[in-house]
Chains A and B, each alone.
Chain A
Amino acid sequence: GAVVSQHPSRVICKSGTSVKIECRSLDFQATTMFWYRQFPKQSLMLMATSNEGSKATYEQGVEKDKFLINHASLTLSTLTVTSAHPEDSSFYICSARPSEGGGAFFGQGTRLTVV
C-alpha cells in the first residue's frame, strides 16, 4: 500500500527554537496533505490543509505564524513549529491524499517535546 514517511519520529528542542517536521509521500503524488495534532489520550485535531503550490488553509484557532506549512512539491509538505514552547509539546501526524483520489494515508507521527 501507499506509504507516507514522517521525519523525525521524535524530537526534543529547547524553548524558543524552531522545529521542522517533514511529511513525504513515497510512492504517490499528493496534491493535498493534512497536518493533525494529537494530545495524550485524545483524538486527532486537524490543524491545517496543505495544498501543493498554494498557501495552507488553517483551522480556526490554529496560529498561522506559529505553525508554518510549506507544500513545495507533490510529495513533500513541511510543518515548522516556530518559537516553540512547552505547550506545543504534542504528537503531530500528517496525512497525504493521492492526487488521483481515494482515502488518505497517514504518517507514523512525530513526538515533539519542548523543554
Chain B
Amino acid sequence: AQSVTQPDIHITVSEGASLELRCNYSYGATPYLFWYVQSPGQGLQLLLKYFSGDTLVQGIKGFEAEFKRSQSSFNLRKPSVHWSDAAEYFCAVASVSGTYKYIFGTGTRLKVLA
C-alpha cells in the first residue's frame, strides 16, 4: 500500500541552525514527491516538488530536498533556520498517472528557538 512516513512529530531547533526533516515513502514506482508548509489555521503552501531529473530540488524560502531512490526518502533541508520557519511541514506523494491523488505524511511540527 502507498504510504508516507514522517518519523519526527516534533522538531525543535535554534534559529540559525541547520534543519533536516525526514520523509520516507512506500510506493510501487517513482511517485511525484512534494513538501508543503502549513501555518496555524492556514492552507498549504508548496515548498518544492520532485517529478524527475536532478534529485536535488531547490524550493522557496531557502529549502531544498533530495530524492534518494535507494532509500525511498525525500528529506527536506535548510542550512539556516529563521524564526518564521516555525510551522507544520507535510511530505506528500502523488501517483504519476491515473487519479493523481495525494497521500500525506502525518506532518512534522517545527519549533524555532530564538
Contact = CB atoms under 8 A, between A and B. Distances in A.
**What is the size category of the interface that chain B forms with chain A?**
20 to 34
Interface stretch (A39-47, A72-80, A81-89): A39-47
Interface string B18-50: 000000000000001010100001111110010
A93 interface: yes
Interface of A is mostly: strand
Given A43-B90, A44-B90, A103-B94, A34 B104 contact: no
Interface of B: 32, 34, 36, 41-46, 49, 51, 90, 94, 99-107, 109
B46 A105 contact: yes
Contacts of B107: 42-43
Interface string A12-35: 000000000000000000001010
Interface of A: 1, 6, 32, 34, 41-44, 46, 49, 57, 91, 93, 95, 97, 102-109, 111
Contact of A34 (B41, B46, B90, B102): B102
A57 B46 CA distance: 25
A108 B42 contact: yes
A49 to B, nearest CB: 6
Contacts of A57: 99
B57 to A, nearest CB: 12
A58 B101 CA distance: 12
